[in-house]
Structure 1
Amino acid sequence: MRVVRALLTVAAVVLLLLAATPWVDRIDPSWLPPVQALGRLWIALALLGVVLSVLTRAWLAGGANAVAIAVALVTIVNVSNRPDCDAGEARVAVMTVNAYFGEADVEQLSTAIQRHDIDVLVVTEATEPMIASLLRTDAGKRFVHRSGQTVEGREADGTVILSRDRARRVDVPAGEAETFQQPAMSVDVDGANVLVRAVHPVPPVDTWLPDWRQGLLDLGEWQRTQRGRPLVMAGDFNASSAHAAFRDAKRGMYDTAGWWPSATWPMDRSHPPFADIDHVLVRGLSVRAAGTEDIEGTDHRAVWADLRVCRR
């Protein structure tokens, strides 16, 4: 029994170290960003560790597992920057979806748009044929403004903002990092100009790790220059609150996913999704409702939020 307790203690300490990795602001070694995103797994394993520790009276292991759970929860639970404002009547519902090289099921997406009465749609990994097909649907016909042309072929670079309200394209700085397209539009919501930025930095894979981190830092720097107007940043951030660079990108903004964000990726595996990397972040807007939608053909969940512009 003493050996079992010792092994449980070692395992608990390892779990605690893994759960604490989100507080390490580094991009090397290259396995670190993926490990940081596994907070839900560390919580599940630590809960199992607590049960085994109680059964074997391995109290030190139980304590280490409990701390690991608490440390992991801090990087998942979303409690900061919740909008505290006098919400007006001006409504804008936003949805974002990674279309997986344009292969997302257009009919299902159209149904989701109608279900949540979406006003602004941000599509990453969009293709021009996919967008054309969406705009022919009953739901797609509502979108009379768009951010511009996107790619024709099966590429990750295509990003589109579609709006049913009057909108104009806004130039954004290129930033220091290589990213996919990240356009912005100013949307007229009952007389209030709401700035919408589509987000799609490169993923945290070996060759792109420096650009992934810098791209998120660039977004944080950009959004802090936009204070004083309602702002939405929506898209596939390829990051969650487990990553220091994402925490910088959203500083001063609120993640509409609520206190426990749903995991949005990957959706095409034999195991459940484990990372919440698709977000709708807001400032100067009140959140009435929010959620996710499963769309066939893509490995991401769509994320939506029903918003009201804050009165000044």
Structure 2
Amino acid sequence: MRYLRVLLTLAAVALLVLAATPWIDRISPTWLPVVQSLGRAWIVAAVIGLLLSVLARARLAVGANAVVIAVALVTILNVANRPACDAGEARLAVMSLNAEYGRADVAQLAEAVERRDIDTLVIAEVDEALIAALLATEPGSRFVHRSGQTSEGASPAGTVVLSRHPATRVEVPARQTGTFQQPAMSIDVAGRAVLLRAVHPQPPVARSIEQWRAGLVELGEWQRAQRGRPLVMAGDFNASAAHAPFRNAKRGMYDTAGLWPRATWPRERAYPPFADIDHVLVRGLNVEDAGTEDIDDTDHRAVWADLRVCTR
């Protein structure tokens, strides 16, 4: 029994080290961002360890596992205050989806657009064929404004913003870090101009981890330069609150996902999604409702938010 207690304690300490990795702000070793994103897994492991430790009367292990759960929750729970403003009647419903090389089920996407009455749609990893198929549907025909052209073939780089409200393209700083397309649009919502930026930085894998970090830093600098304007940043951030570069990028903005963000990636695997890397961030808008949608043939959940422009 003594050896079991020692093993349970060592396992709990190891879990605690893993759960604390989100406070390490670096990009080496290259596997670190993946470990940082596994907070939900550490919680499950710690709960199992806690139960075993109670049965084995391993007090140190019980305490360590409890700390693991608390530490992991800090990186998952979205405890930021909701935007406090006087919400007007001007409505903007935003949805974002990574279409995984343009393979997402168009019929299901159109159905989700209609069900949530979406005004602005951000699609990453999209090609012209998917956009044409979506615009040919009745729900998709509402999108009469778009940010521009994208890839003719399957590619992770294509990102397009579609809008039912009048919208004009806004120039953003030239890409210096090898990011994918991240267009910005100024959207006229009942006479109020709302700035929207589509987001899709490089993924945090070995070949592009430096570009991933630099891309998130650039997004943070850009959004803080837009203070005083209603702003939405929506897309596949390839990062969650477990990553320091994302926490910096969203500073001053509110994640509409709510207290417990639903994991959005990866879908359609033998195991459930474990990372909330798709976001709708806002400033200067009130959040009426928000959630996710499951669309077949893509490894991401769609995220959406029903917003009202603040009057002051």
Q: TM-score, normalised by structure 1?
A: 0.99
- After TM superposition, the structure 1 = structure 2 runs for residues 210-249 of structure 1, keeping only pairs within 5 Å, are 210-249=210-249
- Which runs of 5 or more structure 2 residues have no equivalent in the other structure? none
Paired with 2:227 and 2:74, the residues of 1 have a C-alpha distance of: 27
CA distance in 2, matches of 1:139, 1:221: 35
CA-based RMSD of the aligned residues comes to 0.6
1:142 aligns with 2:142: yes
Q: Which runs of no fewer than 5 residues in structure 1 stay unpaired?
A: none
Query: Equivalent residue for 1:53?
Result: 53
Alpha-carbon distance, 1:118 to partner: 0.1
SS of alignment partner, residue 75 of structure 1: helix
Task: Please say if 1:103 is aligned against 2:91.
Answer: no
Q: Residue type of the partner of 1:202?
A: Q
CA positional deviation for 1:243: 0.2
Runs ≥4 residues deviating over 2 A: none
Q: In 2, Cα distance between the equivalents of 1:159 and 1:152?
A: 12
Q: Residues of 1 paired with 2:17 and 2:81: CA distance?
A: 28
- Offset of 1:178 from its aligned partner? 1.2
Question: What amino acid sits opposite 2:306 in the alignment?
Answer: D
Question: 1: distance between equivalents of 2:179 and 2:81?
Answer: 27
User: Which one-letter code corresponds to 2:51 in the other structure?
Assistant: V
Structure 2 distance, partners of 1:79, 1:92, is: 24
1:263-306 deviation line (CA, Å, top 9, x unaligned): 00000210000000000000000111100000001000000000
Once the two structures are overlaid, the 10-residue window that deviates more, 232-241 or 175-184, is: 175-184
Q: Is the 8 A contact 1:176 1:218 kept in 2?
A: no
Partner in structure 1 of residue 7 of structure 2: 7
Deviation at 1:174, TM superposition (A): 2.2
Alpha-carbon distance in structure 2 between the residues aligned to 1:209 and 1:285: 32
Greater displacement, 174-183 / 100-109: 174-183
- Which has the larger displacement, 103-112 or 174-183? 174-183
Report the residue type matching 2:171 in the other structure. Answer: D
CA deviation digits over 1:60-93, x for unaligned, max 9?
A: 0010011111111001000114211111111000
Partner of 2:193: 193
Equivalent in the alignment of 1:23: 23
In structure 1, distance between residues paired with 2:170 and 2:235? 17
Question: Quick one: which amino acid aligns to residue 259 of structure 1?
Answer: L
- Distance in 1, matches of 2:10 and 2:61, equals 8
Structure-2 residue corresponding to 1:38: 38
- Distance in 1 separating the partners of 2:235 and 2:55: 45
| Equivalent position of 1:251 in the other structure | 251
Structure 1 equivalent of residue 127 of structure 2? 127
Q: Distance in 2 between matches of 1:7 and 1:257?
A: 38
Give 3-state SS (helix, strand or coil) of 1:122's partner: strand
2:114 corresponding residue in structure 1: 114
Displacement of 1:142: 0.3
Distance 1:82 1:219 in 2: 21
* Residue in structure 1 matched with residue 70 of structure 2 by the alignment: 70
- Alpha-carbon distance, 1:255 to partner: 0.5
2:296 aligned residue:
296
**Which residue identity lines up with residue 22 of structure 2 in the other structure?**
P
The equivalent of 2:152 in structure 1 is: 152
**Residue aligned with 1:273, SS:** coil
Return the alpha-carbon distance in structure 2 between the equivalents of residues 311 and 50 of structure 1: 49
Q: In 1, distance between residues paired with 2:62 and 2:208? A: 39
User: How big is each residue's C-alpha offset from its partner over 1:157-187, in whole Å with a ceiling of 9 and x where there is no partner?
Assistant: 1100000000000000124311000000000
- Rounded to whole Å, the distance in 2 between the matches of 1:284 and 1:125 is 28
TM-score (norm 2): 0.99
Other structure's SS at 2:8 match: helix
Q: Return the letter of the residue paired with 1:72.
A: A
